[in-house]
């Protein structure tokens, strides 16, 4: 058999046959080039400065006492509780949303799809329905906070363990069942809310809007360690998350137990979402908003870079929104509504641009 040789005529050669340009370099760095690195660190610097500015504004703006005096620091210390709550919520929402989108391989859905907020609404509605306003006010304290955490984390752990350990278990079925459970809890809550008296419904409605003022300072000694432990574990697992984001086949070929890694991440996500929801109430689109902005700002798939960018963005969004609405428009009660409105518009924009979930 005659040997077939490939010949190339210089006169008929195309661009595809041409040798690669010497300047076209491939890189395995987390940031592709120097321009991306400069842009990333510049945005981090801007966010750090904005965080410090809004924090100082929340502590010192409108403080009637002379700066540096004992009265000034007493008022600043009272305001510091809200700033700490915002920091805890920022770490929880940003870290949980980015991790959840990584293991589900989808940047549209958020941990809210698993029914955390529906469970929170059901617990609050059930408490008002059976105990009344006087009973609910009598049960205020760390016991109620811990009970909500246990219920949310327990339900999520049972759901994840049952669905992911089965023979047919996969994450799509788990998400579908989470949506069904959330819808069922929402329907039960709506039914009980229709049977409440106007005064009971008024008390319940104030609890169902995400608001920093819902947080109690006595919750922080429980919330902060849980937040730091879960977020710290996820941050230390950044390299594993980078591999998981490549898909099950690639992660398995690289020696990872894909199902076990996903289960571990989802349990930590449930802890973070339970802490945030039990602390201030449901905020559906906050995590989606900051995660989407963090992906655009960081221009990288490395979670060691995405996590700090997302946390800083979430903190700036929360503190900036509260500072503007409190000191400019004197309407701090609608901050969560504004954030949800902006987050919902960003969500619709992303959906319309992608054309799919």
Task: Return the pLDDT at 354.
Answer: 64
Task: Return the pLDDT at 35.
Answer: 83
Give me the average pLDDT of each 10-residue run along the chain (357 residues).
Answer: 42 45 56 82 92 88 78 83 89 91 82 74 84 75 81 78 64 75 84 85 77 78 91 91 86 84 86 86 82 85 90 90 81 73 76 63
Of 329, 296, 299, 293, nearest to 313 by C-alpha is: 293
Structure tokens at 88: 């805890």
Of 322, 319, 315, nearest to 44 by C-alpha is: 315
Cα 265 → chain centroid: 13
Long-range contacts of 46-49 (CB under 8 A, 24+ apart): 47/309, 47/312, 47/313, 47/316, 48/312
Task: Return the pLDDT at 168.
Answer: 56
Of 44, 69, 32, nearest to 316 by C-alpha is: 44
**DSSP per residue, 264-291:** HHHHHHHHHHHHHHHHH---TTHHHHHH
Return the CATH class of domain 67-355.
Answer: mainly alpha
Structure tokens at 169: 């278990």
Whether this prediction's pTM lies above 0.85 is answered by: no
Residue position matching structure tokens 């902006």: 342
Question: Are 295 and 26 in contact, with CB atoms under 8 Å apart?
Answer: no
What does DSSP assign to residue 254?
T
Q: What are phi and psi of 108, to 5 degrees?
A: -105, -45
Helix, strand or coil, per DSSP, at residue 16: coil
Of 16, 49, 8, nearest to 320 by C-alpha is: 49
Pairwise CA distance, residues 60 & 67, whole Å? 8
Question: Are 234 and 268 in contact, with CB atoms under 8 Å apart?
Answer: yes
Residue extents of the structural domains in the chain: 67-355
Structure tokens at 357: 């979930």
* Burial bucket for residue 14 (CB in 10 Å: 0-12, 13-18, 19+): exposed
pLDDT tens-digit readout, 244-278: 888 888 888 888 888 888 888 888 988 898 888 88
Pairwise CA distance, residues 343 & 335, whole Å? 12
Helix, strand or coil, per DSSP, at residue 64: coil
Q: How many CA atoms lie within 13 A of 141 on its CB side?
A: 4
Of 174, 190, 175, 176, nearest to 121 by C-alpha is: 190
Q: What residue spans of the chain are helical by DSSP H?
A: 34-60, 70-104, 116-138, 142-165, 171-194, 198-208, 220-236, 238-244, 248-253, 258-280, 286-298, 303-327, 335-354
């Amino acid at each position: 058999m005659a040997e077939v040789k490939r010949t190339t005529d210089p006169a008929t050669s195309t661009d595809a046959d041409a040798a690669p340009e010497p300047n076209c370099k491939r890189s395995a760095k987390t940031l592709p080039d120097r321009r991306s690195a400069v842009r990333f660190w510049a945005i981090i610097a801007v966010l750090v400065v904005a965080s410090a500015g809004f924090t100082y504004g929340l502590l010192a703006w409108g403080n009637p006492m002379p700066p540096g005096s004992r009265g000034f620091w007493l008022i600043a210390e009272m305001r510091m509780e809200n700033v700490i709550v915002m920091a805890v919520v920022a770490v929880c929402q940003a870290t949980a949303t980015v991790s959840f989108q990584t293991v589900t391989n989808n940047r549209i859905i958020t941990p809210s799809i698993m029914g955390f907020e529906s469970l929170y609404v059901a617990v609050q509605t059930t408490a008002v329905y059976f105990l009344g306003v006087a009973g609910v006010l009598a049960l205020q304290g760390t016991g109620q906070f811990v009970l909500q955490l246990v219920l949310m984390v327990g339900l999520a752990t049972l759901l994840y363990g049952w669905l992911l350990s089965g023979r047919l278990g996969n994450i799509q079925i788990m998400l579908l069942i989470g949506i069904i459970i959330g819808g069922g809890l929402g329907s039960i809550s709506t039914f009980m809310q229709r049977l409440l008296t106007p005064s009971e419904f008024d008390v319940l409605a104030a609890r169902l809007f995400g608001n920093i003022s819902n947080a109690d300072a006595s919750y922080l000694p429980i919330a902060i360690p849980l937040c730091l432990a879960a977020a710290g574990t996820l941050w230390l697992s950044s390299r594993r998350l980078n591999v998981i984001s490549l898909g099950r086949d690639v992660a398995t070929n690289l020696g990872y137990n894909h199902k076990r890694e996903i289960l571990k991440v989802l349990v930590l996500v449930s802890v973070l979402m339970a802490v945030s929801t039990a602390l201030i109430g449901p905020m559906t689109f906050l995590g989606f908003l900051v995660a989407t902005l963090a992906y655009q700002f960081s221009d990288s798939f490395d979670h060691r870079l995405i996590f700090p960018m997302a946390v800083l963005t979430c903190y700036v969004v929360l503190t900036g929104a509260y500072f503007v609405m409190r000191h400019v428009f004197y309407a701090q009660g609608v901050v969560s509504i504004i954030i949800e409105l902006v987050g919902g518009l960003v969500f619709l924009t992303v959906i319309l641009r992608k054309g799919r979930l």
